[in-house]
Homo-oligomer: A and B are copies of this chain.
């Protein structure tokens, strides 16, 4: 029952934080959304800061898990790289898509909350390393990894601002050119 309450709390927090931003959502709204009592909320997490961190951490493992699962469907190493952008497109198309939770959170609290800044760097670092792994597996030069990261980040931001999934396809196209132009590293 404790894990269940924690899940309900994080579900409510995630839905509200992601949709409207962190500072714009009050603890009382999260309490109402979770169906828990305020005492229970503060029993599970000592304060809003801790809840925000837990929200970002849980979303991180799920986000990267979903990405990895989608990429694994592709067989060819080069295709796997492009599958990242296909998955981004399907993410952008989900109802309620509002850009990247970490980019948004960092823009809002990056300079005011060290925890948010740390979570964001950790998430983006992990994503960058994942891309670097795909690049290495394809035998492509390491310099390709950061370039793919920039395309992906740019696609997330642009899709979030203009509310269109189009940037995913544009990024995929650009990524294909970069992959094709890269010489094999070994």
In the bound complex, do residue B111 and residue A108 qualify as a contact, i.e. CB atoms below 8 Å apart? no
Please report whether the interface of chain A is mostly helix, strand, loop or mixed according to DSSP: helix
Number of A interface residues in the complex (CB < 8 A): 46
Chain B's closest residue to A104 (CB) is B107
A80 part of interface (Cβ distance < 8 Å)? no
Are A106 and B146 closer than 8 Å at their CB atoms?
Answer: no
A44 touches B (CB below 8 Å)? no
Residue pair B178, A124 in contact (C-beta under 8 Å)? no
Please, which residue of chain B has its CB at the minimum distance from the CB of A117?
B161
Q: Is the CB of A167 within 8 A of B150?
A: yes
Indicate which residue in B103, B108, B150, B161 contacts A174 across the interface (CB closer than 8 Å): B150
Q: Is A37 interfacial (CB 8 A cutoff)?
A: no
Q: What is the minimal beta-carbon distance from A126 to any residue of chain B, in angstroms?
A: 13
**What residues of chain B lie closer than 8 Å to A161, measured between beta carbons?**
102-103, 106, 110, 120-121, 124
Hey, which chain B residues are within 8 Å of A171, CB to CB? 147, 150
A181 within 8 A of B: yes
Q: Is A1 an interface position by the 8 A CB rule?
A: no
Taking the complex as formed, is A7 at the interface, i.e. its CB lies under 8 A from any CB of chain B? no
Q: A interface vs B, CB < 8 Å?
A: 19-21, 23-24, 98-99, 102-112, 120-121, 124, 143, 146-147, 149-155, 157-158, 160-162, 166-167, 170-171, 173-174, 177-178, 180-181
